[in-house]
Amino acid sequence: MPRRRRNSNMPDVKVLVGSSVGKKPEPKGPNAKDIVLGLMESMCHGIILAMFISVTWFSFVNFNIFSFHPPLFTAGYLIFMTEGFLIFLPHSVITKDWPRVSVVKTHWLLQVTGFCCIFLGMIAVVTIKLQNGLPHFAFTHSITGLVAVILAVLTGLGGFVSRLKPHPKGPSLAQIKLGHVCLGIAAYCVGIAALVLGYFTNYFSKLVDYEWRVFMAVVTSLVATVALVNACFGFYRRAKNLLS
């Protein structure tokens, strides 16, 4: 029986195996969108640090116990809680290559540290008012700050419960996490509102010009908006999955 001639147009299997099969695709470089988003996030980190330094500088011009209140509240909400939102950004320059478990643990650490700063800041303002016989929670800023602290406590409790095994007759883990995210967004919004209102109190009006306080309020709101956008999208995705 005559041997079958091999078609010269057919590629050599060995060549295919050695050249393309099993070869890992070359990693793609960052695109323009990732670069722009990364720059925006980096700017947010820089603005957060600059705002904290500014508030601390103005607060310690005339030193007393109350001087600790603005920096601690700013550190709690504008640094630690904002960073706790920013680390979940998919294009985060800090955590984009981290495993999910590490990101969640870092979020917990940032939020707990932020709450400790807020609690210490609340102690400072309560102490100075007790010493001087001033009324507590008599202004919009102080009432908003109190609500922010209460919501932060509830958010922390929700996060703790989400780490536990859910009761068979109670809400599901997805429902608990959805409630935790909802409370976290509410607590952050009220906390940032209290921070912005604090720029326009009598205390700050004696230390900082009105134009600079307006600038601080606008910058703080912009940074908070960047942090909230991804959190709100995450809440929407969780709610959609839960209802579907």
- d(Cα 41, Cα 49) in Å, to the nearest integer? 13
Q: Mean per-residue pLDDT for 43-57?
A: 91
- Tell me which residue of 237, 226, 169, 236 sits closest to 46, measured CA to CA: 226
Tokens (6 digits) for 235:
């809440």
What pLDDT, on a 0 to 100 scale, did the predictor assign at position 86? 87
Q: Mean per-residue pLDDT for 143-164?
A: 88
What pLDDT, on a 0 to 100 scale, did the predictor assign at position 110? 93
pLDDT digits (tens, 9 = 90+) for 158-211: 888 887 777 777 788 888 888 888 999 999 999 999 999 999 988 888 888 899
> DSSP character for 195?
H
Amino acid (one-letter) located at 239: A
pTM for this one? 0.80
Q: Mean per-residue pLDDT for 133-157?
A: 88
pLDDT band at 6 (very low <50, low <70, confident <90, very high): low
